[in-house]
Each structure stands twice: as structure tokens, then as C-alpha cells.
Amino acid sequence: MKFNTKTIHGGQEHDLAFGSVMPPIYQTSTYAQSTPGGHKGYEYSRTHNPTRHALEKAFASIENGNHGLAFASGLAAIDAILKLLQSGDEVISTNDLYGGTYRLFTKIYEDFGIKFHFIGMENAEHIEDYINENTKLIWVETPTNPMLNIIDIVTTAQIAKKHNVLLGVDNTFATPYLQQPLDLGADIVMHSATKYLGGHSDLVMGALVVKDNGLAERLYFIQNASGAVCGPQDAFLALRGIKTLHIRMQRHCENGKAVATYLVNHPKIENVYWPGLENHPNHEVAKSQMNDFGGMVSFTTKGNNYEEAIKIVENFKIFTLAESLGGVESLAGHPASMTHASIPKENREKTGIVDSLIRLSVGIEDETDLIADLKQAID
């Protein structure tokens, strides 16, 4: 089954009760039993829910995995991965990652005795310099948030397997439409399904997908024991969103290219970060592991002027100044004061998150309107 068909039919079956095409919303916390332990596969909705189960099968299908897990948020999904570890373990992570992930790592799990190494992974071979007998997880975002750096998943997976280390990949920016990390050697794929998988800015959710049965069992146990699951209404919305993922991502990519090209040629813009640009440091790696380059674009103004960046994001008419990304509408953010404010300024600036950096989530509106909005806001 091809990907565009998987988004609609992958892992799905018509409801057995009445044949409904869309899985019903099973808005229930518990299920009737004929005798203690005698049930139809569902006993309590923290553990299993038919609507969530349908979504988890869809997650697994579009990522070419065997097991999908749905969580209450992307951070809840990452939290479940970290609960595979114990005090004394070490994690190697990219130094350019979502501020919420950085906060979870440094403010929660460092206190539990887990050590984190935040390094540049643009040259994946450097990862091996940080591996020791305590290393248990390599955590990768690619493209990264917000600098759109590209990390070579195949090379990183080879290093992880050589040292018997788990490789987790945050695939939120790319989505499985553009990139399928499990096929490239990753052990775990994570999504903030709040973003492109949901696609309509109307839910908060996280997803994990794995192939290995034993790893899946450990994660299912953590999911149930910790209880950070999504509700059936959100599961239904995410299922609906996935059905149009392929056509939305096509337009996101088209508009992303148009916006990046416009910004590259604007005299007031200093740097443009988008993997599809030929001068992107890892453009060739992006070409090899992605089907297209996505709708996330970051840029800086000349002179690294904080006030000018704030003025631009405040003056947008179509781009909405807001947290998050991946919806049908175009959003703009100022990472240093919004999504990445939890990262110390000195650490931010080392990775390129300067005060003039603006991150765009380019939506699926008409590209001429988006370009016109950029022009009036910048000029």
C-alpha cells in the first residue's frame, strides 16, 4: 500500500457494530464484563480505548512500524522514552532542539541522575566521541527546531547499533510523508501529533512508533502505568487529520519553497534556514533521506536587531504570531522569547538562536498572499 493510501486506510477497518467508515468516538471510561476478566478486549480506557487503538494502528502504518502509542502530548511521549532509563545512564542529544525537550531533560531527568550531552550532530560521526559504557540513548531531531539543521539518520543509526544504544528520532517537522526514520535504522520515532499529524491546531497529542516487539511492550507498560494517554475525542481528530496529511504536506512544501526563495532574495534578510536551499550545510543529506523539504523556514534580519524582529512578527496580517506549528494556517514565532525561552541565552546563541531569529510555519494558503504578507511586514 502506497503512503497516500496508507494515510486513509492504513491499519484501519470499518466499525464492526454498524460498519461506520470512521471509527466512532468511544467516550467511555470503562466497559461491561460478563464475568470478572471476561470482556471484549477493553476493560478501562487508560489501558485501551477503541478510538485510540484505531489511531495507534494508523500511527504505526504511516511510519512503517509494528506498534504505535498515543500520548497526551509530545512531551509525554518523550517522557515515556526517558522512563526506559535509570540513574547513571547517559543520553546524547542534538544541541539544537525544542525548548520543551531541553527543559524536560535538564530540569526533570538530570535531577534523577541521568546525564545529557548536547552536541552538534551535523557531522554525525562526531557522535561516537561522546559514547561510553553508560550511554543508553541518542536523541535526534531532524530537521531541528528551529535552525532546520539536518542530521544523517543512517549514519547515526549505524553508530547506535555498533554500541548497542537506542536511537530515538523526533520526526515532527518532517512527518512520515517526507521521512521514515524506522526504515533508516532508528529504534523509536516520536511525533508531537499536535503539529502536522493533527494538522488543524485543534488538539494536543504525542505519538511513538517502534518495530521491536520487546521495546513496544516496555513502552506500553509505561504508557499504561504512567497514564499520560490522549482522550477519544482527540484521537478521533488526529485520525481525521492523518487522512489529509499527504495533500497538506505537498502544499506546505510548495509554499515553504516559495517563502524561502523570497526571503533569500530580500535585501533586509541576513540568513535563511531551509533544508531545500542548495547552500544549506547538509542539503545533500536532506535530499538522500527526505522526499521534500517541508514547510518550516527560519530567518534572521541583518544586524541581529531584536526590536526589528519583534516589529516584523507583530505586523503580520496572515501569519499569526503564536506558539506551535504544522497547522493549515501560517504561524510565526520568535524562538528566543517563545518556544526556546527555557534555554539559557548563552546556550541558545551558540546554536544560532539569536534575538533576530524568526521561525515560520508556512501553511497551505495561497503563496502570493503569504509573500505579500512577508513583504509588508518586513518592509
Q: Which residues contact 192 (CB under 8 A, 6 or more apart)?
A: 73, 74, 75, 77, 170, 172, 205, 206, 326
The answer, yes or no, to whether the previous bond of 146 is cis (omega within 30 of 0) is yes
pLDDT at residue number 164:
98
What domains can be seen in the chain, in order of their start residue? 3-242 (3.40.640.10), 245-378 (3.90.1150.10)
Indicate if the pLDDT at residue 37 is higher than 90. Answer: no
For 124-145, the pLDDT digits (tens) are 989 999 999 999 999 999 999 9
Share the mean pLDDT of the chain. 96
**Which pTM does this prediction carry?**
0.96
**Residues with catalytic function:** 46, 98, 170, 195
pLDDT at residue number 17:
83
Instruction: Report the alpha-carbon distance of residue 236 to residue 259 in Å, rounded.
Output: 32
Instruction: Report the alpha-carbon distance of residue 259 to residue 364 in Å, rounded.
Output: 12
For 243-292, the pLDDT digits (tens) are 999 999 999 999 999 999 999 999 999 999 999 999 999 999 999 999 99
C-alpha cell read off for 69: 502509542
